Structure formats: structure tokens, C-alpha cells
Homo-oligomer: A and B are copies of this chain.
Amino acid sequence: MPTTTAAQRREQARVEYDAFIKGCPTNQLLDRLSDKWVSLVVAALSGGPMRYSDLSRKIAGVSPKMLTQTLRTLERDGILTRTITPSVPVRVDYALTPLGSSLAGLLTAVKTWAETHIEEVHEARERYDTETA
């Protein structure tokens, strides 16, 4: 009888795995792309700088909390800049950095792939669903 259960071994593996991917650039980027608001913000800003209120209007259905949170992490990552104009009322502009623009380029590649292959995916789903039913 082993002293470690399957769950314990998996837990151990998970910890090692987490430590591994923590330093993995690809996974860090996927984490960003996985955030649904990130891609929307980057896409919105790819047309040029926007103010906070513009973004909240353009990106329908986003709560102030998530918008701010998303903007902060993207600023920290050097994807966009935050410029405060201390007028009354205050004005804040967000704009993509060169790094942010290159990320937008990646999103364009994803978009292209999606548009090229989505039909195949839909066909595959229909086939799968009819065969399974």
C-alpha cells in the first residue's frame, strides 16, 4: 500500500506544474488573452486613444470595477498608457503603447484564423451532435 494517494500525487504534480508555468511566457500571455475584457479593451484602443467614459460606453456591459481592473493590469504590463489631465472635471486618456499595438496585431492573427476556420468548426459540431443524438 502506497503512502501517497492518487489525489496527493496529482496535487504534488499540480504544484510543480504551477511553479513551472509561473515562469512560462507563453502561459502568461495566454492568461492575458483569456481575460475577455483584455481583448475588448485592446481592440477598442487599436482605433486610437480613448477616455475612460468612452471605453465604458464602447465596451458594452462592462462594470466600472472590471474596466478599471483591466486597465490597471494592462498599464502595469506596458500595454497601454494612462494620461491624466488635471482639468475640472478631470480627464483621463488611455492609449496603446507600441508593445500594445503589437499585441493588437496578434489579436488580428487570431481573428483571421477564426474567420478562416470557424465554418469547419461549425460543421464538425453539427456532425458530432447528429452522430451523438
Contact = CB atoms under 8 A, between A and B. Distances in A.
Contacts of A84: none
A29 B113 contact: yes
A39 B99 CA distance: 24
A77 B125 contact: yes
A102 B117 contact: yes
Interface residues of A, number: 49
Interface in A92-127: 99, 102-103, 106-107, 109-111, 113-115, 117-118, 120-121, 123-125, 127
Contacts of A17: 60-61
B18 A61 contact: yes
Contacts of A54: none
B29 A110 contact: yes
17 contacts: A14-B60, A15-B61, A16-B61, A17-B60, A17-B61, A18-B61, A26-B111, A28-B114, A33-B33, A33-B110, A34-B35, A76-B125, A76-B129, A78-B123, A78-B124, A106-B110, A106-B113
9 closest A-B pairs by beta carbon, nearest first, are A78-B124, A14-B61, A34-B34, A25-B118, A13-B60, A25-B114, A29-B114, A17-B60, A17-B61
